[in-house]
Amino acid sequence: MSKNYIVGFPRIGEQRELKRVLEEFWANKCSFKDVEIVAKELKNRHWKYQRDAGVDFISSNDFSLYDNMLDTSIMLGAIPKRFQHLSDEELYFAMARGNASSVAMEMTKWFNTNYHYIVPELSVEDSYSLNASKIIDEYNEAKELGIKTKINIIGPITYLGLSKRVDRGDAYELWNKVLPIYEELLKIISILDDEITIQIEEPIFARELNTKILSLIKPTYERLSNVSSNIKIALVTYFEHSNEATKILVHTPVWALGVDFLHGDENLQSLEIIANSGKKLIAGVVDGRNIWRCDITKSLKLLKNISKVVKKENILVGSSCSLLHSPFTLKYEEKMSSEIKKWLSFALEKLDEISLVSKIFFYTQQSLNEVRKEMLERNIKANKNRKKSTLIHDKTVQERVKNHTKVQREGSAKERIAHQREILGYKDLVTTTIGSFPQTPQLRKARSDFKNSLISKERYEKEIKNYIDDCVAFQEECGLEVLVHGEPERNDMVEYFGEQLNGYGFTQNGWVQSYGSRCVKPPFIYGDISRPKSMTVDWITYAQSKTSKIMKGMLTGPVTILNWSFVRDDMPRGEVSKQIAVALSDEIDDLQKAGIKIIQVDEAAFKEGYPLREDKIKAYEAWAVRDFKIAISSAKKETQIHTHMCYSEFNDIINTIEDMDADVISIETARSGNELLKIFKEVGYKNEVGPGVYDIHSPRVPSVEEIVKQIELLLEVLPKEQLWINPDCGLKTRKWEEVKPSLKNMVEAVNIIRERAGL
């Protein structure tokens, strides 16, 4: 009777094999056949891992060469016009990455994860047709191994909801055209075997649903359920509760409902109606998107509570979401302390956890064999040790953070800014950049050589200082007014700080797919956070010593540090973020004491941390804004605080941004087609602001005229006294050959405008 269920598995490979072969293929260093060979091997390996761990429901079609939403577009034949003359892998990768003649399709974050999907482009003129080959092939590949899989697909309501209409209508108007393709798909799938399970993912149900979407749920799932009697539909949601949809789905013929009890414990409220419907319940009780060893006792308790309402025989023990969002395996972690390693569990280890939880849940602890008994004991012991460990708990930090009540800086923003302008003496339309300058191969090599003890500390520091010297010299020569040191010492804006804070851990191989072949390796917060010594002061003061202009200090904000790390699960996120904030406030104080007059505190991931559910936004904003303010609370009136954000969907959060109380904010603007300017026009903004005047994501050098025009647009919505002139974001991904002429043109453009205005 024991049944357990994995929503989906990572595909990039435990050694990022898929990444490697894809990048070789794109660089024309291998053939597509080679890609297919690696892909097949990975799929086979991943299925076997799951089978050997005792997983009952293993997926096919969770694999992808780039992204599952893109696969869904291909499956539906939803190909944008500019790619329609292409076919096969040429078509596929052109849609994902663009080609010589066409830009790539847009990419955006998958709900509140750091995974990016390819946004479908739909139009009322489209005609759709089914291409089920990938799905069928993958099913049969697994079958050859003797593994009968469930087939994963993204549901039509989520697919449409995440699409954009190039002809500007509502994507749901295309429901009539898209649903028949799904029906056709199910029909074809139904002949693959006597009985088939299809996992249809509808994560959009975890958001607030409007009446239009709600009205589509019943007809969609009635029609899909009626395609064939040998298909069982498991309707799966994750990342939040989906109670509104559940109320409707229980009245459709779907076979099972999968819900996430960890990131949406409100799902517990739906237990009764699920029980009454007699449907199976896939209970997401093991976290699929964190790195912590599951507390098996806790999962069992949760399952026990669930089974008080839903019959045990109707329960499947599941992962809370696809394991795609966690790193692959701990087995290559050789440098991590063995104590900490015992607290962790990545995708491969989670398989054993889920399997074990379901064995105990269904068979009781007494009937376990010796191996499993031992696994359980190890689990209980590791979790006990973690709770008590001195590595985690630092009384001094806890006391200090608890007693830190200063949230507000002195003076109103208006007073402060007036005061700062007097002291700093910058002109209207003052020019600056966002922080980083090109990360050259030489720099990367120096950093990695230093990390691997191949070069001495002195040699490494000399290398960094040389870079800073050149960077400062270039900025002076170019005529920029507020300078930066260029961030040569940072590989990553979060990792750099994590490495210097107590309470932070790192992996060697904890890669998580971010988009396509791109992976990130987030650090993790396991304990109370404190700052043993200053983190940036030496570099910044060195840079300042090289110029008489103002050198901007450069920090990453508490919310971004938190959002781009795996966070401990034994403390609310808001408390962890407060600890980071207090540490940063000390850094700011050290910087100003060292004579630094402007300090930028980047919050690139502030927006990304927003909850999926509207009723939780207030609570998030409350601690996120508070902690940014705590971080800058040590800044004296005359120390100017900047912040930077690289996205422009500001409509709903502009007032929240203002509440953060930074004196100056720089924001992405040019890249997103000046959307932001409308908001400034409609809502206004009180403090100083630098809306990016050119997009740094492309190698193109913007012309002087183009930037002049952009500045003119800014001046239409904001007075010159309020404006800073800067690029959209940091320049680290660009080359010097692109950066130099671009910034020269930017300064030139400002000179033209100033001259005209007689400034």
Residue numbers annotated as active site: 697
CB of 421 to ligand GLN, least distance (A): 23
Instruction: Return the number of the residue (492 or 575) whose C-beta is nearest ligand GLN.
Output: 492
Interface with ligand GLN (CB under 6 A), residue from 302, 493, 676, 725: 493
CB atoms within 10 A of CB 450: 18
Q: Which two tokens stand for residue 293?
A: 């060893």
Residues in region 386-445 near ligand GLN by CB under 6 A: 434-436
CA trace torsion 585, 591, 597, 602 (10° rounding): -50
Half-sphere exposure of 604 (CA within 13 A, CB side): 15
CB of 643 to ligand GLN, least distance (A): 10
How far is 145 from 48, CA to CA, in rounded Å? Answer: 9
CB of 442 to Zn ion, least distance (A): 24
User: Do 510 and 346 meet the contact criterion of CB atoms below 8 Å apart?
Assistant: yes
Residue 602: which of Zn ion, ligand GLN, none does it interact with, CB under 5 to 8 A by kind?
Answer: ligand GLN
Instruction: Return the number of the residue (435 or 702) whose C-beta is nearest ligand GLN.
Output: 435
Instruction: Candidates 201-209, 238-246, 314-322, 643-651: pick the segment binding Zn ion (CB under 5 A).
Output: 643-651
Instruction: Return the number of the residue (333 or 495) whose C-beta is nearest ligand GLN.
Output: 495
Check residue 591 for interaction with ligand GLN (CB under 6 A).
no
Instruction: Candidates 163-171, 501-509, 630-638, 728-736: pick the segment binding Zn ion (CB under 5 A).
Output: 728-736
Check residue 38 for interaction with Zn ion (CB under 5 A).
no
Check residue 359 for interaction with ligand GLN (CB under 6 A).
no
CB of 487 to Zn ion, least distance (A): 12
User: Do 62 and 11 meet the contact criterion of CB atoms below 8 Å apart?
Assistant: yes
Check residue 480 for interaction with ligand GLN (CB under 6 A).
no
Nearest to 697, CA basis, from 725, 724, 669, 677: 669
Residue 375 backbone class (left: φ over 0; alpha: ψ -120 to 50; beta: rest): alpha
Q: What is the DSSP letter of 12?
A: S
Nearest to 728, CA basis, from 661, 686, 676: 676
CA trace torsion 464, 468, 470, 473 (10° rounding): -170
Residue 70: which of Zn ion, ligand GLN, none does it interact with, CB under 5 to 8 A by kind?
Answer: none
CB of 602 to ligand GLN, least distance (A): 5
How far is 589 from 376, CA to CA, in rounded Å? Answer: 48
- Provide the sign of the torsion angle of the four alpha carbons 404, 405, 407, 412, taken in this order: negative
Instruction: Candidates 98-106, 473-481, 520-528, 729-737: pick the segment binding ligand GLN (CB under 6 A).
Output: 729-737
Can you tell me whether residue 666 is helix, strand or coil? strand
Half-sphere exposure of 712 (CA within 13 A, CB side): 10
Check residue 554 for interaction with ligand GLN (CB under 6 A).
yes
Check residue 646 for interaction with Zn ion (CB under 5 A).
yes
Check residue 357 for interaction with Zn ion (CB under 5 A).
no
Check residue 732 for interaction with ligand GLN (CB under 6 A).
yes
How far is 130 from 528, CA to CA, in rounded Å? Answer: 53
How far is 77 from 178, CA to CA, in rounded Å? Answer: 10
The residue with its CB nearest to Zn ion is 646
Check residue 604 for interaction with ligand GLN (CB under 6 A).
yes
Instruction: Return the number of the residue (65 or 746) whose C-beta is nearest Zn ion.
Output: 746
* Contact flags string 678-717 toward Zn ion, x per CB under 5 A: ----------------------------------------
Check residue 644 for interaction with ligand GLN (CB under 6 A).
yes
User: Do 730 and 487 meet the contact criterion of CB atoms below 8 Å apart?
Assistant: yes
* CA angle, residues 695, 699, 700, in degrees to nearest 5: 70
Check residue 646 for interaction with ligand GLN (CB under 6 A).
yes
Nearest to 273, CA basis, from 314, 322, 222: 314
Residue 493: which of Zn ion, ligand GLN, none does it interact with, CB under 5 to 8 A by kind?
Answer: ligand GLN
Check residue 602 for interaction with ligand GLN (CB under 6 A).
yes
Check residue 729 for interaction with Zn ion (CB under 5 A).
yes
Residues that bind ligand GLN (rule: CB under 6 A) add up to a total of 13
Interface with ligand GLN (CB under 6 A), residue from 163, 660, 730, 739: 730
How far is 285 from 328, CA to CA, in rounded Å? Answer: 19
Residues that bind Zn ion (rule: CB under 5 A) add up to a total of 2
User: Do 488 and 472 meet the contact criterion of CB atoms below 8 Å apart?
Assistant: no
How far is 362 from 312, CA to CA, in rounded Å? Answer: 8
CB of 434 to Zn ion, least distance (A): 6
Instruction: List contacts with Zn ion (CB under 5 A).
Output: 646, 729
Instruction: List contacts with ligand GLN (CB under 6 A).
Output: 434-436, 487, 493, 554, 602, 604, 644, 646, 729-730, 732
